[in-house]
Structure 1
Amino acid sequence: MTYKKRLSLLMLLDSFIVLGSIYVSYFILVPNLNLYTTATLTISAVTLFVTHHLFAYQFHLYKKAWEYASIHELTLIFKAVTLSILCTAIIQFIFIQDIYFRTLGIAWMMHLLLIGGVRLVWRMKHDWINRIDTELKPTLIIGAGAAGTMVAKQLKQDNKREFDPVAFVDDDKRKHKLEIVGLPVLGGKEVIKGSIEKFGIQKIIIAIPSLRASDLQDIYTICKESGIKAQIIPKIEDVMVGKLSVNQFRDVEVEDLLGREPIQLNISSISEYVKGKTVLVTGAGGSIGSEICRQICKFNPKKLILVGHGENSIYHIEMELRNKFAGSIEVVPMIGDIQDRSRMFEIMEEYQPNVVYHAAAHKHVPLMEYNPKEAVKNNVIGTKNVADAADTFNVDTFVLISSDKAVNPTNVMGSTKRIAEMIIQQLDRISQTKFVAVRFGNVLGSRGSVIPLFKKQIKQGGPITVTDPKMTRYFMTIPEASRLVIQAGALANGGEVFVLDMGEPVKIVDLAKNLIRLSGYSSDEIKIEYSGIRPGEKMYEELLNDEEVHDKPIFPKIFIGKAVFEREEEVDFLVEKFETLRSHEVKTFVLNLANKKENIKQLVSK
């Protein structure tokens, strides 16, 4: 039905109800009254008629899609009817010097029942026409809060749905035995198994955005044991911005099982140093760099400079950001290698950024063991090039992306990241620019993460290779890491090393087992083999050593440390002379320097 036809029909029905109700209410009270000659009745009818349509217009009653009506729409009807009755009472008092309370009371009740009834019939007609005759899968919804209720409503209204919601499960005891949108709340997660058998559940939807990883693990284990597939609703932010619908469910990922409570950012402090400013990100095409760019754009910088060596990755993030923030943020792609000192200075001079996030680096531990000079070129010399350029052109804040492997490093990669920290600490002493570093653990989903490797091995039928059953790592998601980096820039005073409270370290073998289960296999179908620790790897990782730890966080979940800068002469020597050294000499030198051990005297004296 077109809008004009809908409008005409509703106005005609409402007019008939309004005029009919006032006449009927008078007739009930005074059956012998001449209805067509009473001035009181005429004044009341005209007033009701005019005021009802005025308030109906005010509350958009004729613009509502009544096939999707809810309590909100019924509340608007109540307001429009009540206000029109009150206006009629006022007019009666002004012109007749009396108010017919009983008559108006009857008219008020009839208006609510009939006008609300018309909308209810409209809704029932839509539901009947769009009813689904095909076989639906009985579905249990975990979570009877706002998100779960939204999912239930969407499923009931979707005429193309596969799933039929039959009940809720929620740990909130106040909701137990209640009905929400027509569905019973059966109890807490302990009733999931019994509910699956009782209702013949074929699908479970987890609809609790704030669910802790441990609880999600418990629920997923119950579902797996019962042979029922569980899916989770998309992130609320994706629903709010229209990226996804609430009923576009996704499979539970290993990131969900390892996740923690989201980091709460200080929005005002970040906006203060980003909004309207020019921001430069090196390594902008990488997994961390590109996510920093996405997160930064939420704070409306004036200009975003994307610096990267690989043209394809820079092109992809440029197109993504241009499409999403066209007209509001100027996105500038710059192809350049951080090892090219003149190119870094050229970019800094041309665009004069206020904030620099330095994410470009070599991060692969075993590869850097075989290529120590390349690690120094990129992670040390590259960092110095970008940092010197930032200092020269008066950048306000420079944030270095560091690693947990920089703490007591046993490998070349970690050592070069610690030396990169030393370089920016050295600059911070003499520069107007605030230089800080941000350390975090392994990032799930990044190019160097174990997750893509494990998934590939599972796809090939196994086995999954794990270095050692005791090996542990700290893990975080890409958005978590990016938010920490952005917040660090806002907290920077200069010289700090910021660290996220990453909770407990995770055993790699447990990560592999979770991924096997999430892929729908058992440990009997996909085997785990132990390959032994690779060159440069540590059994356990640290985020701050004992000399660097500050007991209290400077911000919720963010700790601060002042890594002591020493051996300035050795850092200078490495920068100036590393190319004259052999690979094994470079390896020994950076390991000793990062771990505060005495370097071979003849190397330093060269």
Structure 2
Amino acid sequence: MVSKRQQVAGSFPRIAVMLHDLFMVWTCWQVLYMARYAILDNAPIIHVFSMDIAVVLVVQALAFRYVGLYRGLWRFASVADLLNIFKASFIGLAAIVLAFSYKRLEGIPMSVLVAYPFALAALLGGPRLLYRAWKDYQAVHSDVRARRVLVLGAGHAAEALVKDMRRSGDYEPVGLLDDSRHLRGAKLQGIPILGTLDDVASVARETAAKLLVIAIPTLDAAGMQRIVALCESTGLPFRTVPRLSDVLEGNSLPGQLKEVAIEDLLGRKPVQPDWELIRGWLSGRTVMVTGAGGSIGSELCRQCARHGASRIVLLEISELLMLKIQGELCRNFPHLRIECILGDCGDPAVVRHALLGYRPDTVFHAAAYKQVPLLEGQIREAVRNNTLATECVARACQEHGVDNFVFISTDKAVGPVNALGASKRYAEMICQSLNQDNGTRFVTVRFGNVLGSAGSVVPLFREQIRRGGPVTVTDPEVTRYFMTIPEACQLILQAAASSSRGAIYMLDMGEPVLIRMLAEQMIRLAGKQPHVDIALVYTGLRPGEKLHESLFYSDEHSRPTAHPKVLEAGVREFSAERVLGNLGRLREAVARYDVEAMRSILFSTIPEYALSHDADAAYVETNVVPFPSKEAGRS
């Protein structure tokens, strides 16, 4: 926002311009009168000021105000301003004729009235164009390297940006735009505020801007979508300033310009977890994360390190991912104790070694396979890694007295139609079956697609666009719900810190997004036109995929929690004896690589999965509830 002193200062040039214009009106009227009577010997006396001249000045001033002549600045005078001047001159002429009609224009020569609007337009437009030409000459010769920048926003971020641009010398701020109309014509750091955000196309042309910068870091997704659309309409490149959270988390530097990312357009208003609750719960704890090098696992490690955990045990099967997250944590949190265990969380000896050696208070089980089409042909690995490994870690936590076991599940587990969903749903039921009134507290957190996670659609689209297309979309009507990785992990911690025993928590993921629209927006952000520069190809739904996803069953009777973005689902009725009893048979089938036996066990344990493979698959659609959240993403 602009200070009151700056607003007052901005009004002085406008007053000077108004006085200049009124002086030109007086000059025009006097000169035309003199020219009319110059050749006559008995010319009437022409007074420097009279009642007639006062009337002319008043009505012409009202005409200037009516057409909005003082909304623009001389520095950016253009053809549009000249048209406004002509308009004001002719409206002023009509008003003068009307004002003097009471005396039938007596004493006012017709030649003066005919020449008046043209002469006045020349007297008003000439100085404006000369001033702009002079300023343009100064700008060109002062620093030919500076890139002309139009800034969108006039708040604290814009003020800091203008200072940084001036210090660098590589950019020349030529104006600002802001939707606060009372700022119109004011100045920020000496830079004029030229209009609202909707004026970006016309102002960019008038100012000869070469770059647009969005300096409103508090924008929500809807606001960013609107501004990006306005920027795209200009055909100019555009950038944005980083959010405060990105700067604090080390993802961006202060003052650094970055391209608008698809996350900026799909995210929602920043989620504010109850940090006091989370820090109180995490403070001094030893935390173990399985799948610690993956998208979700690594972010959970960062969040736990940032909010009070004293030691983090990393359990990861990939040595490269292990090295990456270990190095990052050691650099950013030098006083945090980091323990690394390389191994498979489905191996009881590995899990037992980790729990006995480091005695974690809480285990976040984020390790999983998650690629739907791939797992349809690899059901053994889906069962082994997603179901049996979960049971392995969960039982070990129970046996060794771990306080909390947090299982990261997926929306695919609701009305599962694929191997990923069935294996995860079975794991959910295992956690609920093992939960007791004392001992380890089992908590399940269920959410959908995570922006930028390994194997998700956004990195795939980026790569396809980089190669020049085509961008492949399964179906024009397919929708998914999206959440950023940090937001998802913050809400996982929120749910874990405030949870009750055996509950399933679902994260509110906002409004559904058409994948087709997502692809088109990403193409535009890359500076291309969808269907023109980059083709979209529809490939059809792949094995195991749905058009739409859901986060809970209708009979789970979801209810709100203390946090508006977290809902709690009740436990569905199922046979815990069957769930736990079938695990032995499932383990034998995995050992024999008997795919048909594994499917049979999953069908008998999860009736809705069996129905999804029968003609009566409509059950799956009617027994699940659409909810602000969809699609899977995990690591």
- Shorter chain as denominator, the TM-score bin is 0.7 to 0.9
Q: Which residue of 2 aligns with 1:583?
A: 595
Post-superposition shift, 1:190?
Answer: 1.1
Q: Which residue of 1 aligns with 2:393?
A: 386
State whether structure 2 residue 503 is matched by structure 1 residue 460.
Answer: no
State whether structure 2 residue 560 is matched by structure 1 residue 552.
Answer: yes
| Contact map agreement 1:410 1:591 (CA 8 A) in 2 | no
Cα 1:238–1:508 change in 2 (3 A) is: closer
Within 1, Cα distance between the matches of 2:486 and 2:142? 40
Cα 1:240–1:302 change in 2 (3 A) is: closer
Superposed, 1:228-247 pairs within 5 Å as 228-240=236-248, 244-247=252-255
Cα 1:146–1:189 change in 2 (3 A) is: same
State whether structure 2 residue 433 is matched by structure 1 residue 433.
Answer: no
State whether structure 2 residue 331 is matched by structure 1 residue 319.
Answer: no
The residue type equivalent to 2:567 in the other structure is F
Cα 1:598–1:452 change in 2 (3 A) is: closer
Q: Which residue of 2 aligns with 1:144?
A: 154
* Aligned pair partner of 2:526 in 495, 498, 519: 519
The residue type equivalent to 2:329 in the other structure is L
Superposed, 1:471-486 pairs within 5 Å as 471-486=478-493
Give deviations 1:321-378, integer Å, cap 9, x for gaps: 101111x210111112011012101211111111111100111111111111211111
Please state whether the residue corresponding to 1:494 is helix, strand or coil: coil
Q: Which residue of 1 aligns with 2:174?
A: 166
* Aligned pair partner of 1:296 in 278, 301, 304: 304
| Contact map agreement 2:422 2:606 (CA 8 A) in 1 | yes
- Structure 2's unaligned 5+ residue stretches are 1-140, 612-635
Superposed, 1:495-506 pairs within 5 Å as 495-506=502-513
State whether structure 2 residue 583 is matched by structure 1 residue 569.
Answer: no
TM score, norm. by length of structure 2: 0.71
- Structure 1's unaligned 5+ residue stretches are 1-130, 600-606
The residue type equivalent to 2:529 in the other structure is S
* Aligned pair partner of 1:308 in 307, 316, 326: 316
Within 2, Cα distance between the matches of 1:389 and 1:175? 64
Post-superposition shift, 1:319?
Answer: 0.6
Cα 1:185–1:545 change in 2 (3 A) is: farther
The residue type equivalent to 1:554 in the other structure is A
Q: Which residue of 1 aligns with 2:352?
A: 345
Superposed, 1:58-73 pairs within 5 Å as none
Give deviations 1:4-30, integer Å, cap 9, x for gaps: xxxxxxxxxxxxxxxxxxxxxxxxxxx
Post-superposition shift, 1:552?
Answer: 3.2
Superposed, 1:246-265 pairs within 5 Å as 246-265=254-273
| Contact map agreement 2:561 2:568 (CA 8 A) in 1 | yes
| Contact map agreement 2:403 2:441 (CA 8 A) in 1 | yes
Give deviations 1:19-72, integer Å, cap 9, x for gaps: xxxxxxxxxxxxxxxxxxxxxxxxxxxxxxxxxxxxxxxxxxxxxxxxxxxxxx
User: Which stretch shifts more, 279-288 or 477-486?
Assistant: 477-486
Q: Which residue of 2 aligns with 1:217?
A: 225
Superposed, 1:203-214 pairs within 5 Å as 203-214=211-222
The residue type equivalent to 2:268 in the other structure is R
* Aligned pair partner of 2:200 in 192, 204, 215: 192
Cα 1:242–1:388 change in 2 (3 A) is: closer
Dislocated runs of 4+, deviation >6 Å:
none
Tell me: higher relative CO, structure 1 or 2? Use CA pairs within 8 A at least 6 residues apart. 2
Within 1, Cα distance between the matches of 2:248 and 2:275? 18
Give deviations 1:96-136, integer Å, cap 9, x for gaps: xxxxxxxxxxxxxxxxxxxxxxxxxxxxxxxxxxx973332
- Aligned-residue sequence identity (percent) comes to 39
Please state whether the residue corresponding to 1:394 is helix, strand or coil: coil
Cα 1:496–1:174 change in 2 (3 A) is: farther
Q: Which residue of 2 aligns with 1:180?
A: 188
Post-superposition shift, 1:225?
Answer: 2.0
Within 2, Cα distance between the matches of 1:573 and 1:420? 14
| Contact map agreement 1:278 1:303 (CA 8 A) in 2 | yes
The residue type equivalent to 2:200 in the other structure is I
Superposed, 1:72-83 pairs within 5 Å as none
Q: Which residue of 1 aligns with 2:11?
A: none
TM score, norm. by length of structure 1: 0.74
The residue type equivalent to 2:163 in the other structure is K
State whether structure 2 residue 462 is matched by structure 1 residue 487.
Answer: no
Within 2, Cα distance between the matches of 1:132 and 1:332? 58
Post-superposition shift, 1:580?
Answer: 4.1
| Contact map agreement 2:380 2:598 (CA 8 A) in 1 | yes
Post-superposition shift, 1:492?
Answer: 1.3
Q: Which residue of 2 aligns with 1:363?
A: 370
The residue type equivalent to 2:279 in the other structure is S
Give deviations 1:426-456, integer Å, cap 9, x for gaps: 1112542211111111111111201121122
CA RMSD in angstroms, aligned pairs only: 1.9
State whether structure 2 residue 502 is matched by structure 1 residue 507.
Answer: no
User: Which stretch shifts more, 314-323 or 247-256?
Assistant: 247-256
The residue type equivalent to 1:471 in the other structure is V
User: Which stretch shifts more, 407-416 or 181-190?
Assistant: 181-190
Within 1, Cα distance between the matches of 2:359 and 2:161? 48
